[in-house]
Structure 1
Amino acid sequence: MSDPRDDDDEALGWAGDDDPTLTPVGVPERETSASASPAPATAPARKTVLDEAEEAEDLAAERELAAAEAAGAQMSSFALIGFGILGGVYLLFTIGWIISFGRYEQPIDVDFTVLSHRVALALAVAAPPLWFVVTLLVGQRADIRYRFLWLVIGMLVLVPWPFLMGA
């Protein structure tokens, strides 16, 4: 009668598994020579690779957690007040553009020049709120100083000169 342990060992392998001339599919020569060595020599190497992989996953998880905490961090009171004031200035700019273009008489005839003029008026009215919103959304991950810088640049660019000059 045969030993049942021999049957179990046979079930886990194929005939010819121990043939050194056979290389596994997709495994380079370096890895096959390392795998051909006795099991105790490869076991610590596999453990280190697994440990390194676990450490890398832990570091990645910690980085994700830190990024989530940084994204959820509240702005300072100064920043909120500053953004509110700048938002109010941009709102006043929009109102200034609307008032200044309300003063112009629009011709009833519609040709290309009148149509392009109306498109330019609509873009001029929409520019301040768009600049404000886009600066806040695009600069969300940037430092607060850069957002303030771009908002100040927008204030200088989008001043409603026709309203201020009384035209």
Structure 2
Amino acid sequence: MSSRDDDALSWDGDEDPRNPAPGLREKAGSLPRGWRAVGRGSGEVSSDDGPPGDPAGTTESSAPAPMGNVALVSMGVLAGVYTLYVVGWALGGFRLRDRIQADTGAVADVMFQAALWLAMLSPVIWFLVTMHVTRRAAPWRRFAGLAIGIVLLVPWPFVMMGVLGR
């Protein structure tokens, strides 16, 4: 039999898959990063997230858990709805401003302009604040906050007047 060094398919630095490097071996009684033990005897199992002997899940990691595919696509759809709300507030608000100006002959005052810009930015502000506040919360809380925002931030000038403003 030939030795491992004489093998034609070996390269320097190859590791035998049956004998992993010492740094890659799992400790007995430990869980991989991101896993946590539950149930009877979970206090004796340690996790790579915390110090040895610490029950898994009692120490919080600084990074939030990654989202799954469905959650990520749903978040993109909700972000698209919020983007459409920004466009709706802009179109509806500018049409409302033009209608006020045509009916009364008055130029929209500074307070109207400030409210218009705040209304246009409100979906962006709601989305960013909800994402920031719920970054370590359960995913359902994030989706609930975004759903509440979709109900509250409907662009009423666009809904009532439409694109034509009549």
TM class, shorter-chain normalised? 0.5 to 0.7
**SS at structure 2 position matched to 1:71:** coil
2:85–2:155 contact (8 Å) kept in structure 1: yes
Aligned-residue RMSD, C-alpha: 3.1
Q: Say whether 1:101 aligns with 2:87.
A: no
Pick the aligned partner of 2:159 from 143, 147, 164: 164
> How many residues align structurally?
108
* Rg (Cα) greater in structure: 1
The structure, 1 or 2, with the larger RCO (C-alpha pairs under 8 Å, 6+ apart) is 1
Residue 117 of structure 1 deviates from its aligned partner by: 1.1
Instruction: Determine the C-alpha separation between the residues in 1 that align with 2:80 and 2:160.
Output: 21
Aligned with 2:116 (options 116, 121, 124)? 121
How far 1:64 moved relative to its partner? 9.0
1:69-117 Cα deviation digits (max 9, x unpaired): x83532111110111000000000000011112212276977xx81111
Give the AA of the match of 2:72.
L
Higher helix residue share: 1
TM-score of the superposition, structure 1-length normalised? 0.55
Name the % identity. 36
In the TM superposition, structure 1's runs of 4+ consecutive aligned residues that sit over 3 Å from their partners are: 57-66, 106-110
**Is this contact kept in 1: 2:64–2:135, CA < 8 A?**
no
Quickly say closer, same or farther: Cα 1:109–1:63, change in 2 above 3 A.
farther
Mark the runs of 5 or more structure 2 residues left unpaired by the alignment: 1-49
- Paired residue for 2:83, among 73, 77, 91? 91
From the superposition, tell whether residues 109 and 162 of structure 1 become closer, same or farther in structure 2 (CA, over 3 Å): closer
> How does the TM-score come out when normalised to structure 2?
0.56
Query: Cα offset for 1:59?
Result: 6.0
